[in-house]
Amino acid sequence: MTCEARELHNKMLLVGVTGDCFTLHVMLRACLKEGNILEAEQHFLQAKARGVELDQEAYSIFVHLLCLKPNSGYALSLLREMRAAGWIPPEGTFTSVITACVKEGNVAEALRLKDDMVNCGKSMNLAVATSLMKGYCMQGNLRSALVLVNEISESGLVPNKVTYSVLIDGCCKNGNIEKAFEFYSEMKTKGIRSSVYSLNSILEGYLKCQSWQNAFTMFNDALESGLANVFTFNTLLSWLCKEGKMNEACNLWDEVIAKGISPNVVSYNNIILGHCRKDNINAACKVYKEMLDNGFTPNAVTFTILMDGYFKKGDIENAFSIFHRMKDANILPTDTTLGIIIKGLCKAGRSFEGRDLFNKFVSQGFVPTCMPYNTIIDGFIKEGNINLASNVYREMCEVGITPSTVTYTSLIDGFCKGNNIDLALKLLNDMKRKGLKMDIKAYGTLIDGFCKRRDMKSAHELLNELRGAGLSPNRFIYNSMITGFKNMNNVEEAIDLYKKMVNEGIPCDLKTYTSLIDGLLKSGRLLYASDIHTEMLSKGILPDDRAHTVLINGLCNKGQFENARKILEDMNGKNMIPSVLIYNTLIAGHFKEGNLQEAFRLHDEMLDRGLVPDNITYDILVNGKFKGDGNFSRDLTF
């Protein structure tokens, strides 16, 4: 009858009866029962102000209340008042404050209080030990938590279900899944039934370290014992769907239903997402219909997943059909929903529509973040419209949205592609001024821009800056630098970078090898070029039309017509049709050598293969015009 007690207490104060410490005890206990901290604080402070002589019990009750919130700072100040008054707080009071400190992440203060508690002649109890273990695990200090386990065992304390749950969760989150399973098994040996929370922690740990066989064995055992629930099911289902194992996911679905576990909306969302990731939107829609038929109400996540699935297939009409269903169901779109829609439109080359829809959402009260702006900027840049991308950038700055590294990287990429590297550098300086760190993509974009301008000095300076920032160049950056030096006829620098690339364990790709072979052939190093070509083939990397052009052009320039012919034959053997450029290179080479018969034969071969000779072909054969060195791809860049 708390309400009646409170009413009587108020009447008592109105008639001038102030009450004593016992009155305060009663009212504080009423607040403790209801968890009413604000009212408790009012009673406590008013009693103090009225001159009521507060005792240790009044302090202890109020401290317990504060620890419910928790407000460990306030609780600690009251504990200090108690100690200053010469009182030794009860064990329960110490326990409450220690637990509150751990919950608020103040493990150091919790440990100090534990020592104070022991110095006051009170033994460390299991609740304190469990709280401290949790604090250690939160800090990532699993070793100290495990030391504490040994300490409590030596003192005669026996871990309970809560203690084991804390230890199992801590071990899993700190990557020691073997120790977590050891505690789990120890619980079973002692006859302590595990909580489903502990089970789910270990399952997540096993899946995280790709030990899926152990995870499924454990799940099957839990399913048979009745411990597994829908959250356990969703843990496994989510993993299977993310891994693309949809047959296994569907089998698991049937198995758990047979065992009496009913799926929930999260379960349906997981399997819909799995089908969408496998590009099977029809299967996803079938599950969505089944979800409706079984009486489940789709949420914002369901609709967003389906929209994303349609957008990835380029089916914008059906994506918007899902969006309209979402609106008809009075489900508000989330930031993710809006991001998916804008991304889908921008990816389809409809960035204008994406921008207009975004502005419409903002006018309706949607609070914009940096992400949709970045998507629209990137969309316009991919469509080659750097001016509109710049306008969106200015808009986001005007409304107070701070551009991120992604924003600047996209714009830098756009300016570099538009050969406006000065503006790209201006943005780079703006980034640095605002304290934003360049990411590897931003460095790569600028380095590639300098390489294409043949400004290898600036490109190399940026490469050194990148390393100084603690980043490592990736394959894109190495390829840009190798091609840049090759185009500057500095094949030695290109080779040096290639060697560094190999030493750093970065796999070379077709572009790497093509650039190196081109540079080596142009510099007359045929044997080295042959070695590089052999290395490329040994790694299973086959030349494309561009690489064949480089090989044939380089060999023809050095008079290696027989080897060039073998390259052509190799292409024929692989059912690859050589380009007009390749034929022009061979025709020019033979024409230069005076072998007109072979030059005209190659022309006829072109026609037989359905290739249409271009102006260069006829300039060679009809007018006798060709570059003095026969090199039609001298300036070929990649």
Summarised one tens digit per residue, pLDDT across range 558-586 is 778 777 777 777 777 777 777 788 888 78
Long-range residue pairs from 458-466, CB within 8 A, at least 24 positions apart, any chain: 459/484, 466/438, 466/440
What's the rounded Cα separation, in Å, for the pair 126 and 334? 44
What's the rounded Cα separation, in Å, for the pair 197 and 232? 9
What's the rounded Cα separation, in Å, for the pair 334 and 621? 65
For residue 333, cis peptide bond before it (omega within 30 degrees of 0): no
What's the rounded Cα separation, in Å, for the pair 103 and 138? 9
Can you state the angle between helices 126-138 and 142-154, rounded to 10 degrees? 170
| The most confident of 288-302, 352-366, 542-556, by mean pLDDT | 288-302
Mean pLDDT computed over 525-550: 84
In angstroms, what CA-CA distances link 148 with 154, 156, 578? 10, 13, 73
| Res 267: pLDDT | 95
Nearest Cα neighbor of 475 from 502, 437, 514, 456 is 502
| Res 638: pLDDT | 40
3-state SS, one letter per residue, for 501-523: HHHCCCCCCHHHHHHHHHHHHHC
| pLDDT tens, position by position, 583-600 | 887 888 787 777 888 888
Mean pLDDT computed over 518-543: 86
pLDDT > 90 in the chain, percent: 36
Q: Is the distance from CB of 629 to CB of 557 less than 8 angstroms? A: yes
Cα angle: 194, vertex 200, 203; to 5 degrees: 110
Q: Is the distance from CB of 547 to CB of 537 less than 8 angstroms? A: no
The residue count of the chain comes to 638
List the structure tokens of 180: 């977590």
| Res 545: pLDDT | 77
Helix (H, G, I), strand (E, B) or coil at 84: helix
| Res 362: pLDDT | 86
What's the rounded Cα separation, in Å, for the pair 345 and 351? 6
In angstroms, what CA-CA distances link 202 with 145, 147, 230? 18, 21, 16
| The most confident of 147-161, 476-490, 611-625, by mean pLDDT | 476-490
Secondary element (H or E) of residue 195 = none
pLDDT band at 500 (very low <50, low <70, confident <90, very high): very high
What's the rounded Cα separation, in Å, for the pair 221 and 297? 32
- pLDDT, mean over the chain: 87
3-state DSSP percent of the chain in helix, strand and coil, to 5: 75, 0, 25
| pLDDT tens, position by position, 170-200 | 998 888 989 999 998 898 888 888 888 888 8
| Least confident segment among 202-211, 234-243, 256-265 | 202-211
| pLDDT tens, position by position, 305-358 | 999 999 998 899 999 999 999 989 999 888 888 889 999 999 888 999 999 988
| Res 625: pLDDT | 58
| pLDDT tens, position by position, 352-384 | 999 998 888 888 888 888 888 999 999 999 898
Tell me, what amino acid is at 484? G
Beta strands in 397-498 (DSSP E): none
| Res 297: pLDDT | 93
Dmax over Cα atoms in the chain, in whole Å? 125
What's the rounded Cα separation, in Å, for the pair 304 and 326? 9
In angstroms, what CA-CA distances link 523 with 241, 520, 526? 53, 5, 8
Token pair 């090898």 in the structure block, residue:
513
| Res 635: pLDDT | 39
| Res 601: pLDDT | 85
| Res 499: pLDDT | 93
Tell me whether residue 40 is exposed, middle or buried, using C-beta atoms within 10 angstroms of its C-beta: 0 to 12, 13 to 18, 19 or more.
buried
